[in-house]
Amino acid sequence: MTDRDELELLNQIVKLYLKFGPEAFETLADRISSPTFATTLAAIMRATAQSGRANVKARPNINRELERLKELEPEKHALLESFTSDLRARRILPNVRDIRRFAAENGLQPVTAESREQAIPQLIRGLMPSSMAELKKLLLRAKQTQNYESNLSQWSEIITKGMSRSPS
C-alpha cells in the first residue's frame, strides 16, 4: 500500500467518523480489542479481497481494446468510445434485449450475455471489424432505432389514452 493509498484510506475513515459519530467509533474500538474480532475481521477482509479480484477478472474490459484501437484507427476509436459511453448511460439501446436485437438485425456477432454490462463489450467487439463507412451507418441506425422506438412508444400511449376516452 502506498502513502497515497494510506492517506485515502484515512480520509475515508474520517468520513465514516463524521457520518456515524464518536459513539459508534468507541463501540467499534471496544469490539476490535476483543481477540475473536481480529480473527473474524481478517477472514472477512480476505474473503472480500478474493471476491473483488474474481469480479475484476470476470468483468469484460473493452476499454483496453479501445485504447489499442486508438493508436491504429483514431477515428474509429472516437466513434466507438462515444457509442460505448452512450450505451453505458443508456442513451442508446437501453436494455440487453435491445442490444441483442440490434446485433442480430445488423448481421453482427450474436450477443449472448445475460447482463447489460456484459452485452456492451460483446456488441463493441462485434462492431470493431467494420469499415468506417459501415460503422457510421450502424451507429446512426442505432440512434435512429432508439428515436423510432421512443416515438412509437409515445404514439402508442397517445392512441391508447385516446381510445379509453372515446365513447363506446
* pLDDT digit string (tens) for the chain, length 168 residues: 788 888 888 888 888 888 888 898 888 888 888 878 777 777 777 887 776 655 444 445 788 888 888 888 999 999 999 999 999 999 999 999 999 999 999 999 999 999 999 999 999 999 999 999 999 999 999 988 765 455 555 666 667 776 666 555
Q: For residue 88, which amino acid is it?
A: R
pTM of this structure: 0.54
**Per-residue pLDDT, 83:** 95
Residues shown for the chain: 168
Cα(44)–Cα(52) distance, integer angstroms? 12
- What distances in angstroms separate CA 27 from CA 24, 35, 37, one per listed residue? 5, 15, 12
Which residue in the block uniquely carries the three cell numbers 409515445?
154
Query: 166 in helix, strand or coil?
Result: coil
Which among 53, 28, 52, 22 has a CA at the least distance from the CA of 41?
A: 28
Q: At what angle do helices 35-58 and 22-32 cross, to 10 degrees?
A: 100
**Per-residue pLDDT, 88:** 92
- Residue 114 backbone dihedrals phi, psi, to 5 degrees: -90, -35
DSSP state for residue 121 in the 8-state scheme? H
CB 114 within 8 A of CB 63: no
**Per-residue pLDDT, 57:** 47
